[in-house]
Structure 1
Amino acid sequence: MTTDPIADYLTRLRNAIKANHRIVEVPASKLKKEMTKILYDKGYIQGYKFVDAPVGASIKIALKYHPATRTPAITHLERVSKPGLRQYRKASELPRVLNGLGIAVISTSHGVMTDKEARTNSVGGEVLCYVY
């Protein structure tokens, strides 16, 4: 059992990108599924598949690379809110990642969404991570 499953999820993605893997498998949870959907919708990953099992469901994520240069679509993953120090922000105080070029994943009372969606819905929440 891990103390911080979200940090473990991000670290598995980060390590797979550094090793130039095409597919990475991570343990599944509802929050990780929602984060994976956001990464897919915003174009940071090529695809994903939820593998259901009686014990130990997982998510298979196909990473996205530029075809000619083999540079990954995700250059930086950073965990913001940690179990020891949670980071909550109001809708007006939500961060802009790389001046709008990156995304911040926010856990709100209306579900998990990006910083832009949270600002549009004027809802704040816990800032989980930055992706760019």
Structure 2
Amino acid sequence: MTDPIADYLTRLRNAIKANHRVVEVPASNLKKELTRILHEKGYILNYKFVEEGPQGTIKIALKYDSVNKVNSIKKMIRVSTPGLRQYVGYKDMPRVLNGLGIAILSTSKGVMTNKEALDLKVGGEVICYIY
């Protein structure tokens, strides 16, 4: 696997399209931080780290609307890839859907959203857009 973050996003995307309640993904520190941010921003219901085997897994409970059965995540776009890294400064911070979505960045101060990075005046690598 050459791009584990794209695999993470694809597993979430496929589980949402199949209307699954829970999805399991192989764990890494970056994926744990992405999952934490998605939970804090209300895109997923809950998550749990399972430490078994050499790598461990992350169990993610997806969030659906109880009336229409619509997921809270509409789209996930991978921006920076292993072949073409995308970096931005804090002055050029991307706005996703005019502020309704989030961009997740890997900065020198850790993984955070575009709004947090703008408050700290720090730039970094744009990992993905979520809305």
TM-score (ref. length: structure 2): 0.99
Which residue does the alignment assign to 1:104? Answer: 103
CA distance, structure 2, for counterparts of residue 37 and residue 57 of structure 1: 16
Which residue does the alignment assign to 1:29? Answer: 28
Q: Does 1:94 align with 2:93?
A: yes
CA distance, structure 2, for counterparts of residue 32 and residue 120 of structure 1: 23
Secondary structure, aligned partner of 2:67: coil
Secondary structure, aligned partner of 1:99: helix
Secondary structure, aligned partner of 2:83: coil
Taking the TM superposition and a 5 Å limit, the aligned residue runs for 1:2-41 are: 2-41=1-40
CA contact (8 A) 2:28 2:55 kept: no
Which residue type is aligned with residue 77 of structure 2? E
CA contact (8 A) 2:5 2:31 kept: yes
CA distance, structure 2, for counterparts of residue 56 and residue 110 of structure 1: 24
CA contact (8 A) 2:102 2:114 kept: yes
1:97-120 deviation line (CA, Å, top 9, x unaligned): 000000000000000000000000
Which residue does the alignment assign to 2:128? Answer: 129
Extract unaligned runs of 5+ from structure 1.
Answer: none
TM-score (ref. length: structure 1): 0.98
Aligned residues: 131
- What's the CA shift for 1:56? 3.1
Which residue type is aligned with residue 7 of structure 1? A
Calculate the aligned-residue CA RMSD, in Å.
0.5
CA distance, structure 1, for counterparts of residue 3 and residue 109 of structure 2: 22
Which residue does the alignment assign to 1:113? Answer: 112
- What's the CA shift for 1:53? 1.4
